[in-house]
Structure 1
Amino acid sequence: MTLTARKPARRRSEVPADVRRALSSGELESANLIEWLIVDQVALLGTLLEQLELDAHARRVLAAARPLKRKGVMQRVTGIGALLHALTESLSLRERLRVRKAILAHRSDMVRAWGACLLCAEKHVALPERLAKMRPLAADAHFGVREIAWAALRPHVAHELDRALRLLEAWARDRDPNIRRFASEVTRPRGVWCEHIAVLKKDPGRAAELLEHLRSDPSRYVRDSVGNWLNDAAKSRPDWVKTLTRRWLAESQTQATKAIVKRATRGLRDRAGEKSRETS
């Protein structure tokens, strides 16, 4: 069996040595979250710099990257993305474009994820242009690249929230389920491995128009995200989520809407069950 046709391990300790080497040298994409977590990102960075013929910068960049080994995985990803951004900014325009193009098209999903962080580290970029640059990564075939893409863009969305919500409505209507899911994930009130969007925790109704486009989505991948979005909101605004989901069920009789509402209200049901047991 080839490495590309392998069955991914369920535990870190079960990842074979040859798979670890291939992941950390950029020769192989991770097949699941376990493999994604065990990539030696500093070793991969060294390989990337050699591939890009940036050996003159390698010692300095790797010295700055090594302390990231003691950080969490998201800090390693964003930290290396920031280092690559700083490196490209020191290059000539022609070299900068060459290097960025190579990173964004790299075989390794982890390198492309760094590319998402690199793009989001750029300053003085208007939000519509930033979204356009991120779109290929939001539609990437690999789950890890897509997740890092929305996480990296999220601070910019939070900074210009109302404008972002209007721009993302078109994404919520897109034919690609990866793009539709991105519109949901990047605006979640709480999210995973990221800072919360305080405004949406307090007033989730500001994203109502975007969510309306997704209330009966044919893709389970998207439906799960919308359900999680509303479950986030229900932790601080249960009244709003109850009103919204009741209306959705009254107006949309599809199984897709019912699945979203079931996922969205799981926290509400759990809390209702706890209160019932306390009073019994």
Structure 2
Amino acid sequence: MEPLKEMFNREFYRHFAQAFAGADKNFNPKTFIKDVTQGMETLSLNGRLRNTSVMLHKHLPGDFTKAAEVLFKAAPSLQTGYTALVLPDFVALYGKQHFDLSMEALKRFTTIGSSEFAIREFLKTDLDKTLKVMNKWAEDKNHHVRRLASEGSRPRLPWSFKLDGIIKKPALTQTILEKLNADEELYVRKSVANHLNDHSKDNTAYMLQLVKNWDKRHRHTAWIIKHAIRTLIKKGDKEALDIFGFGEEAQVKFGRFWLDKTSLRLGDTLQFSFQLASKKETPQKLVIDYAVHYIKSSGETSKKVFKLKETELQPGQTLQIVKKQLFQDLTTRKHYPGKHLLEIIVNGKTMGSKGFSLSV
């Protein structure tokens, strides 16, 4: 499989240089390609992105306003997606002294390659001024721009630095989130939910109080809240469970907990099953999860919670659950040999657990 950094390869740079040569008669594509590809084999994906911005600055007019004109002209001819992040990255590097023009550029460029990382450089420099612009973006007709308002101001955006000012004062982004809390676009709603989930890690009480005041009867708002509190639900947070009626301790009989094997090799699938029988005379809402306690390289364990099912258990009803779990190395998880544990959790409470061994 070709490394991701090969998105920035020589073929890409040929097309890229042609787009800029068409936008600026003084742009020399051959010299640019020579400069930008020199030593690129040693650079990572993000290293190549940043190097492209730096080399572009070398070959464009030194005045940012004139360089921005060329960027605007070239943008329609560029590929969309990750490689288009070069445009907002250029703005973040060289547009700090031209705030209004930079904001307009980031708004335009986010429609072809997200400006979520670039805008954070301006938030770091002038938080209040930049948030005023992003509040306006939250009302934009283009869903890419609306999403930028939420995603760019996330306190803990992956692959970027934390926004300590927003972590200290989470209410700074409240108006943005409230403008988007029933957005018709799933792309935007996912960002709002992730933004709120970020808040839950540093300002749990604030985040829960905020979403409690939102209208859960609206299906888009309910979707956002449910995904926003997912981490707290997995932790069994009582207040988070209460929001959707899962706060009461489950009145069930737990039984017939079974694993199809107690010794696995890497690449094997573990199948497990169990039953939940109602002990209540009225319906009860249940959120059912399971957790695997993985062995770490240190020999200690790390608990990972997985979603299983949300249901309403009727009086006298018995629910049979069957699930399979594959044990295979991923980019996000490496397995280590030893005694693992499988745990069943209902409404935040452990119902039972069984051990099994894994060899690699």
Q: Secondary structure at the match of 2:57?
A: helix
**Higher mean Cα deviation, 101-110 or 130-139?**
101-110
- Residue type at the aligned position of 1:190: R
Show CA shifts across 1:167-201 (max 9, x none): 21111111221111110111011112211111222
- Residue type at the aligned position of 1:115: L
Distance of aligned partners of 1:185 and 1:89 in 2 relative to their CA distance in 1, 3 Å threshold: same
Q: Percent identity?
A: 19
Structure 2 residue 74 is matched with structure 1 residue 103: yes
Kindly indicate whether the alpha-carbon contact (under 8 Å) linking 1:69 and 1:76 is maintained by their aligned counterparts in 2. no
Match in the other structure for 1:131 = 103
Structure 2 residue 172 is matched with structure 1 residue 215: no
Structure 2 residue 170 is matched with structure 1 residue 204: yes
1:86 counterpart (58, 65, 79): 58
Shift of 1:100: 2.9
Shift of 1:217: 1.2
Show CA shifts across 1:54-81 (max 9, x none): 156337623xx54444343223212311
Kindly indicate whether the alpha-carbon contact (under 8 Å) linking 1:153 and 1:186 is maintained by their aligned counterparts in 2. yes
Q: Which has the greater radius of gyration?
A: 2
2:127 counterpart (141, 157, 161): 161
C-alpha distance in 1 between matches for 2:10 and 2:148:
28
1:179 counterpart (135, 145, 151): 145
1:269 counterpart (230, 233, 236): 233
Kindly indicate whether the alpha-carbon contact (under 8 Å) linking 1:227 and 1:264 is maintained by their aligned counterparts in 2. yes
Shift of 1:102: 4.5
Match in the other structure for 1:30 = none
Match in the other structure for 2:17 = 49
Aligned pair count reads: 237
Shift of 1:162: 1.5
Shift of 1:97: 6.5
C-alpha distance in 2 between matches for 1:205 and 1:66:
46
1:120 counterpart (72, 76, 92): 92
Distance of aligned partners of 1:66 and 1:193 in 2 relative to their CA distance in 1, 3 Å threshold: farther
- Residue type at the aligned position of 1:41: N
Compute the TM-score of the two structures, normalised by the length of structure 1. Answer: 0.72
Match in the other structure for 1:58 = 32
Show CA shifts across 1:118-161 (max 9, x none): 22222453433311122221233xxxx12xx2212221123211
**Higher mean Cα deviation, 81-90 or 170-179?**
81-90
C-alpha distance in 2 between matches for 1:91 and 1:129:
13
**Higher mean Cα deviation, 234-243 or 109-118?**
109-118
Q: Secondary structure at the match of 2:60?
A: helix
Kindly indicate whether the alpha-carbon contact (under 8 Å) linking 2:68 and 2:105 is maintained by their aligned counterparts in 1. no
Kindly indicate whether the alpha-carbon contact (under 8 Å) linking 2:7 and 2:83 is maintained by their aligned counterparts in 1. no
Shift of 1:88: 1.1
C-alpha distance in 2 between matches for 1:262 and 1:91:
48
Match in the other structure for 1:257 = 221
Long gaps (5+) in structure 1: 1-11, 14-33
Show CA shifts across 1:84-122 (max 9, x none): 12321459997x567434532223236543222222222
C-alpha distance in 1 between matches for 2:224 and 2:64:
49
Distance of aligned partners of 1:206 and 1:46 in 2 relative to their CA distance in 1, 3 Å threshold: same
Q: Secondary structure at the match of 2:78?
A: coil
Shift of 1:252: 4.9
How much is the aligned-residue C-alpha RMSD, in angstroms? 3.2
- Residue type at the aligned position of 1:139: T
Long gaps (5+) in structure 2: 22-26, 238-302, 304-347, 354-360
Compute the TM-score of the two structures, normalised by the length of structure 2. Answer: 0.58
